[in-house]
Amino acid sequence: MRTLPTASILPGTISVIAAGSYIDPFVLLKEVTESELDPSRLLIDPNAVLITDEHKQAEKKAGLRETIGSTLSGTGAAVVSRLLRNGTAQFAGYDDRLKPFIQNTRQFLRERLKRGERIIVEGTQGFGLSPLHSVDYPNVTSRDTTAAGFLSEVGLSPLDVDEVIMVLRAFPIRVAGNSGPLPNECDWESIAKNSGYESDLTERTTVTDMVRRVAYFDATVVREAIEANNPNKIVLNHVDYIDASCRKTNQLNSKTEQFVALVEQEIGSRINFVGFGPSSIVSRVGESRTVKSTAISA
């Protein structure tokens, strides 16, 4: 998914695309069709901004793929059009294709909170790509990637939050090309060989379908992310890339326990949940965690 919240695939979840979102209508409607999402389960704020072909062309002409490894999705140019305030920004509320989904999402979410319902605000990309806080500028994304930034885009208060969950990868990634520093960079073949996977683990980027850059774990940016976000839960995904056998057992073994312990030592925080594959997130005390929530794309 590029636009729909990840949790949209779960039955009964309401997906909310908030005012701070940037939408490519063609991508969104394609995802709605392919996922067979019931239109009643999707809300779009009228103040969300549309990504147009002009935005994509502007990024291409600026040479952003060559200079910073941009995916040329048009998001950054759409952000610029909104901030220029010169009448060039196009809003979701005026797009006939999106009318069935348009609703004031801030009011919707506030009503749900008053009823005591649960909401997940799903962030985008990683802390190391924040244009405000990353040391790798200009090799960053076009919007802030902190928990506080996500709340601002959604229209909720910090006082509404009772959990900040940070998700890490055992092997960090960057998009292909000149996308910035990636300490301890390696390759997918080495990861597969060292983990015992016989299948190809190569990951490709969602937007450009190019092979992602990948590296061995580095704690520096994670410690910075913890400082900025102060999470009370941390999830470590792709632990099966350390030992493929964990994907079958959904349990840590001596090799992966040692790796998780080393990560905890280096980041100075406990790992609460570990992931062994697409459908397996397990707590360190052996309890699975499921939350029925309203999903928000920030």
pLDDT, position 287: 46
User: 165-293 belongs to which homologous superfamily?
Assistant: Adenylosuccinate Synthetase, subunit A, domain 3 (3.90.170.10)
Over its length of 298 residues, how does the chain's per-residue pLDDT go in tens digits?
A: 889 998 998 888 999 999 999 999 999 999 999 999 999 999 999 999 999 999 999 999 999 988 988 888 999 999 999 999 999 999 999 999 999 999 999 999 999 999 999 999 998 889 999 999 999 999 999 999 999 999 999 999 999 999 999 999 999 999 998 999 999 999 999 999 999 999 999 999 888 899 999 999 999 999 999 999 999 999 999 999 999 999 999 999 999 999 999 999 999 999 999 999 877 778 875 544 444 445 555 4
pLDDT, position 290: 44
pLDDT, position 265: 97
Q: What percentage of the chain has pLDDT greater than the value 70?
A: 95
Backbone angles phi, psi at 22, to 5 degrees: -125, 125
User: For the chain, what are the domain ranges?
Assistant: 165-293
> Which candidate, 269, 197, 184, places its Cα nearest to that of 232?
269
Q: How much is the CA Rg of the chain, to the nearest whole Å?
A: 20
Number of H-type helices and E-type strands within the chain? 10, 13
Question: How many residues does this entry show for the chain?
Answer: 298
> How far is the C-alpha of 241 from the C-alpha of 216, rounded, in Å?
10
Whole-model pTM: value is 0.90
> Which candidate, 37, 49, 47, places its Cα nearest to that of 6?
37
